[in-house]
Structure formats: structure tokens, C-alpha cells
A = this chain, B = another copy of it.
């Protein structure tokens, strides 16, 4: 049976943009599982599956509902052990948590601020009102002020990618010779930026950009099929 992936979208239902939903989509593709993306605006999330979740991604696999990208990856590896592993063992499961927190602190911190208005502008009308209220409450200032200085801060952002860049001189993926869920964790953040904003956060010639391009080509170029925002 086809797995359902409830997937965050804005006004364009064909442009899923949530970094966490992209992690789950890549994990499903990695396992070679058939899945269908259910386009879900922010304000529809509480209504899906009879209010089963406050967050997406949420997957339905037969009778089973699983929310949260990391939980989904753990579930898929446990439920489908004969398909390609997402973690490469217990050590990989644990260390993927470190990659997750590094990505959250280092990438989401910058991207979430720099592209906040781009996200807002690509949401449907009801979602825009929700988004403004929730984010202005979280950040304590008008949405419009969040991206200020994003050009000036870009060099610092690039510098903070150095652990990833440096590691890529040893191996082509964070998971080693082949990608694992840890790659999709980091990929999700850059894909979020790619599909939601024309502001380019990765530089030509950066090994991180080359790695990102390799990820876009995975699974028959699934993630590249959503064009970059123009």
C-alpha cells in the first residue's frame, strides 16, 4: 500500500518546502517505498488524520501514523529492515542526532531568518496570517525585519559550514560513500532555501554546493524535480 506523506506547502501545492518534510521524503525514496505527498498548508495541519498531529511531516503507513522526520526515519528502518539502511547501525542512529542538532543550530538559524519573508510571501492567505502571528510571537519583531543584513551575514554562514566542507574532502557524503539519513537532514535545510527563495545561500565552487547537487540527483533526481524558486 502506498504510504501517505503529509507535506507542508504554500500557495503552490506543487512546491513542498518544509526542510523536515524533505528529510522524510528523501528517507522514503531512499528505502525505495512508494509514497504519495499530500499537500498540506500550515493551517490545515491540525485537521489532518482527525487531529492526530500538530506537526508535519506525518506519514500514514497502513494503520500506522508516525510524525517527526527523525521518528519517521527510525520507523522506516525498523519496519523495512531488508531495504537500504538509513543509519548504517546503532552508532549512525546516535550520531545522526548530532548532525541534526548541528543542522538545526547552524543552518536553520540563518536560513529561517534570512528567508522568512520569502516563506511568508509564498504562503496562501490564511497561512500568511497564521505565520505572521506565530513567528512574530516567537521572534518578538516584525517579520519584515528578520531578513535584514542577510547579505552581510552570508560570509559568516559560509564559514560555519566548514566542518561539513572539510569532511567532504574525506568522503562524498556524510554517510560515507553513499548517503544516509544524516545527509537528508542537512539536505532538507538547503532544499528549503532552494525552493522557497531566489536568494542564493550556496556559492559556486564550494564543495558543500557540489554535495548538495549530488543529493539533488539522488533517487532519480526527485528533489530537483521541484525547480528552484525564481
Q: Give A contacts to B, CB under 8 Å.
A: 85, 87-102, 104-106, 162-164, 166-167, 170-171, 173-177, 180, 182
Task: Say whether B173 contacts A94, CB under 8 Å.
Answer: yes
A98 to B180 CA separation, bound complex (whole angstroms): 13
Whether B87 contacts A182 by the Cβ 8 Å rule is no
Q: Are B175 and A91 in contact (CB under 8 A)?
A: yes
- What's the number of copies of this chain in the assembled complex? 2
Can you list 9 A-B contacts (CB < 8 A)? A89-B89, A89-B92, A91-B93, A91-B95, A91-B182, A94-B174, A98-B174, A101-B163, A101-B166
Given contacts A97-B167, A101-B167, A104-B163, 15 further A-B contacts (CB under 8 A): A88-B93, A88-B94, A89-B89, A89-B90, A89-B91, A91-B175, A92-B95, A94-B171, A95-B96, A95-B175, A98-B163, A101-B163, A102-B163, A105-B163, A105-B166
